[in-house]
Chain A
């Protein structure tokens, strides 16, 4: 199946790092890994993307394994506003979404 695999849900304490894993074992060499998040009743919000190298921006870090079969999104200091569904997607000629991880950040 071309869809990515993610845990259904995760919890994280406010101020701690949230590490969200994703499995994409069938990804091919020219496919990017994109991460989006979706807060209730809103459209998906872009977070970060990468191909082979680890990436960091103002929102998060993306760690991609050397064999590219899995990746981890890291939110370094989670806040309550980071509570959302996080999607790891493959980008071929279109975005292929899985069912995502529901991250709950608690005080």
Chain B
């Protein structure tokens, strides 16, 4: 299993541009999450999904959109990028609610200038 994969690893955007951060998992997990981590801080939840076709907002959803058309993929869309969205973005998934263990991807480092 590849686990949770994220692309791209790095990206520089200009203010006002848009992009999609890709996240995929091959563990057949129903639960998937997007977090952002600002320098020197912990992670904050942006959006989450409990299964294909179901998404909901987390703590910091403004400026982002998500979709979940398949169990495997959970892309995060940035519209009209702003400098405040400069951050490292992590995707995570969870399959077994008995253990509650989340598996994290390697992250995407995004800079908006």
A-B complex is real: no
Residues of B within 8 A of A (CB): none
